[in-house]
Structure 1
Amino acid sequence: MVNGERKIARPLRWAMVGGGRLSQVGYKHRSGALRDNTAFQLVAGAFDIDAERGRDFGVNIGVEAGRCYDNYQQLFMHEAQRADGIEVVTVATPNGTHYEITKAALEAGLHVICEKPLFFSSQEAKEIKALAAEKGRIVGVTYGYSGHQMLLQMRQMIASGDIGEVRMVEMQYTHGFSASDNADKFEAQKWRVDPQIAGPSFVLGDLSTHTFYISQLVLPELKLRSLLCDRQSFIPSRAPLEDNAMVLMHYHGGAVGRMWTSSINAGCMNAQQIRVIGSKASLQWADYQPNELKYEVQNQPAQLLHHGMPYLSETALTDDRLGALHTEGLTDAWSNIYLRFALAIDAKNRGDEAGLATLIYPDINAGLEGVRWVENCVRSADGGAVWVNYE
């Protein structure tokens, strides 16, 4: 169980690029990183494209004014000159800036935690993977939902054969907050529907990469063979980017999958879920009921497994924070992810490659795979919603 005790020798000196006052995700990052104040300490940042607003914001969250920089270039340069300079940086900026900032951070000798989707292309991701290896640094990706402990329980039960042979993977991440074009007037949405900033997709990259990574987390041995993607721009001004998409998938070994992702599911507050169907039983998890895992064995009553209970696996219980009596939520999941990042960075710094290999967290390979999945979806959709071999 996580209780905030020190798991690394000292907190890592941490900075943010982006994540300021107008950010939708900045507070999630800070809540996750600082929940266990033994893991990270926020000491610097370039929080906003508007330097004065970013400095004012930084001071208001407790960062020294002199360490609130105008841009990431100044941040990396000046912090490198300090004996107590930053060791790790979070990139919480629009998609189109991820590659250049991550590359600059690695070249400055920093570990990086980056928003998803990681980059525009798998080629960029491969370049960064090679650079991170050369520099001996960690690149983590904030697939924050994957920090929910019941997903580790799901992973363990599938690996143990509790559902038999995997046959189907059913995934969904939808909401209705972009059902009208009024949503595109807000600053937080504008860039998401601009191909120059968002990249080759909208909801495929912004939403379903979360759920796709969850499928990788719980099914690490299941590999894609081919897919078919059909995507739509129901708000015409968003074209060529999609606000709705459906993806069919074939895996090596014969299993099949389906993903529905949409921001125009009118009336839906949020619906992200994954159901894995095996030859003997099924498991289902949803982020709107994250403390429960539904376990349905053919010809037996359905079971609801609950977080924090002693019948869960050791890996699931390790991430428990509040005990079974109290509900946990997204901030707890983000806290788990950031704690795993801290453990990975610490292991890397100490040269403990064996220990690093045992950690389960969204690393550069997870980020690369998310970009690769989006690329294949776009290739299929733009080819006329045709089956393509997974490349």
Structure 2
Amino acid sequence: MGNMKLRLGMIGGGPGAFIGAIHRIAARMDDEYSLVCGVFSSDAEKSASMGSTLGLEKKRIYASYRQLIEEEALLSAEERVQVISIVTPNHLHFEPAKLALENGFHVILDKPATFSLAEAIELKKICEKTGRLFCLTHTYTGYPMVKEARQVVLSGKLGEITKIYVEYPQGWLSRFEEGSGDNKQASWRTDPAKSGIAGAMGDIGTHAFNLLEYVSGLQVVKLCADVNTVVAGRQLDDDGAVLLKFSNGSSGVLMATQIASGEENNIKIRVYGQQGGLEWQQSDANTLKLMMADKPVQLLRTGGSYLSSFAGQNTRTPAGHPEGYLEAFANLYRNFAQTIKASLASQQPSPEQLDFPGIEEGVRGMAFIENVIRSGKSDQKWSSFSLEI
């Protein structure tokens, strides 16, 4: 069972897409999947061209996601696709995911989960009803040292958590990029019809939110948001900050901006407890900074023999070799594949294999978006973090 490749299909990720190629690299990295079918664009000609470039059989390059799901479902159990990866803009997440699950396929979905919280809640019900497995690609939780950070917090080493700071600064939308017409990423990510009610808060704010809940093991229960649209003419937010209250009574701050000129993608988290703190940032992803009260600062490094089994499960190379974004992405794909393979063999996946974001994180991410945008428009200082529509 271990050497069997899962048959993978892809919806989206055609010419000009950024994330589709990343997903394909992630799927290939550990030889857990074989790409067998796809629909890569709403334009049938572009889809056919991309499928051909990827070496797919002509008959398994489809013109629409409905056609892909319906025709694959008719194939024999030995031939049909098993896992469908959906890498479309947000407004095209729910329907293909719903159809795929209902037709017996496991689903990998790019974040945020859906266009709205209502869709995410419905998708959770469909996951439960169908019993299919679901993975949401919140990349940053795939890093070995982010997994180690979570284990440090959950072990109680830092004591009761008292403060969390998380930030995601980008600068690529500091000008009106969507106005040029040739920046596909800027165009759809700033379009409410395709992105949803949030811009920066949906695109990268959800990553920051997911990272802080994952590492801390805490849940946001109240928030107070300041949400801004800085660039003239833009339809969605491009900057914001959120004050947070957590389930244990502690507080935190989340910052997400796409107008910090010169910034790239250095997502960063700091977690402090009564006994010590930790810090991780993507620009030095192999390092976890551990700061214990009255002790010298420690730098824990990817590949170290002293790390937890969760960090070890997600490390590929000996210490000192940088494990980056593509590897973190691939860790989600691999853990998901190993979970599916265990279930096919009627075995129980290990906690390390089950360590990937799922539909719960998808629902909370969409709730974060809707609560933050609502709070940003309100004069009320604090509002409850609600999972209600």
The TM-score bracket by the shorter chain reads: over 0.9
Q: Does 1:173 align with 2:168?
A: yes
Q: Does 1:48 align with 2:45?
A: no
Distance 1:271 1:357, change over 3 A: closer
Q: Does 1:159 align with 2:132?
A: no
Q: Distance in 1 between matches of 2:301 and 2:384?
A: 39
1:238-270 CA distance string (max 9 Å, x none) = 23x200010000112221011110000011122
User: What is the SS of the residue equivalent to 2:303?
Assistant: coil
AA aligned to 1:14 is L
Is the 1:177–1:183 contact (alpha carbons within 8 Å) kept by the matching residues of 2? no
In structure 2, the partner of 1:150 is 145
Distance 1:154 1:36, change over 3 A: same
User: What is the SS of the residue equivalent to 1:162?
Assistant: coil
Q: 106, 111, 125: which one pairs with 2:106? A: 111
What is the Cα deviation at residue 378 of structure 1?
A: 1.0
Q: Distance in 1 between matches of 2:43 and 2:241?
A: 38
Q: Does 1:346 align with 2:333?
A: no
1:114-141 CA distance string (max 9 Å, x none) = 1111112222212111111211101210
AA aligned to 2:230 is F
AA aligned to 2:222 is S
What is the Cα deviation at residue 184 of structure 1?
A: 4.6
Q: Distance in 2 between matches of 1:248 and 1:123?
A: 24
In structure 1, the partner of 2:231 is 235
User: What is the SS of the residue equivalent to 1:225?
Assistant: strand
Distance 1:122 1:349, change over 3 A: farther
In structure 2, the partner of 1:34 is 28
1:161-181 CA distance string (max 9 Å, x none) = 221110011000111010000
In structure 1, the partner of 2:268 is 273
Distance 1:358 1:53, change over 3 A: closer
1:58-137 matches, within 5 Å, as 58-83=51-76, 84-137=79-132
What is the Cα deviation at residue 52 of structure 1?
A: 1.0
Q: Does 1:199 align with 2:196?
A: yes
AA aligned to 2:202 is G
AA aligned to 1:249 is L
AA aligned to 1:297 is M
Is the 1:138–1:348 contact (alpha carbons within 8 Å) kept by the matching residues of 2? no
Q: Distance in 1 between matches of 2:189 and 2:177?
A: 14
Distance 1:45 1:144, change over 3 A: same
Distance 1:301 1:204, change over 3 A: same
* Structure 2 length-normalised TM: 0.94
Q: Distance in 2 between matches of 1:75 and 1:180?
A: 39
What is the Cα deviation at residue 352 of structure 1?
A: 4.6
Q: Does 1:13 align with 2:10?
A: no
What is the Cα deviation at residue 306 of structure 1?
A: 0.6
Distance 1:357 1:283, change over 3 A: closer
In structure 1, the partner of 2:239 is 244
AA aligned to 2:209 is F
Distance 1:339 1:358, change over 3 A: closer
What is the Cα deviation at residue 100 of structure 1?
A: 1.0
Distance 1:315 1:15, change over 3 A: same
In structure 1, the partner of 2:133 is 138
Is the 1:229–1:385 contact (alpha carbons within 8 Å) kept by the matching residues of 2? no
What is the Cα deviation at residue 189 of structure 1?
A: 1.4
In structure 2, the partner of 1:3 is none
Q: Distance in 2 between matches of 1:238 and 1:285?
A: 32
In structure 2, the partner of 1:377 is 372
* Structure 1 length-normalised TM: 0.94
Q: Distance in 1 between matches of 2:302 and 2:29?
A: 19
CA RMSD of aligned residues (A): 1.7
What is the Cα deviation at residue 187 of structure 1?
A: 1.3
Is the 1:184–1:193 contact (alpha carbons within 8 Å) kept by the matching residues of 2? no
1:352-363 matches, within 5 Å, as 352=347, 355=350, 359-363=354-358
What is the Cα deviation at residue 356 of structure 1?
A: 7.2
Is the 2:339–2:349 contact (alpha carbons within 8 Å) kept by the matching residues of 1? no
1:211-233 CA distance string (max 9 Å, x none) = 2111222122x122210111110
In structure 2, the partner of 1:23 is 17
Q: Distance in 2 between matches of 1:286 and 1:183?
A: 29
Q: Distance in 1 between matches of 2:49 and 2:141?
A: 33
User: How many residues in Structure 1 have an aligned counterpart in Structure 2?
Assistant: 382
Give the % identical residues. 34
User: What is the SS of the residue equivalent to 1:236?
Assistant: coil
Distance 1:351 1:229, change over 3 A: farther
Q: Distance in 1 between matches of 2:207 and 2:352?
A: 22
Q: Distance in 2 between matches of 1:386 and 1:197?
A: 30
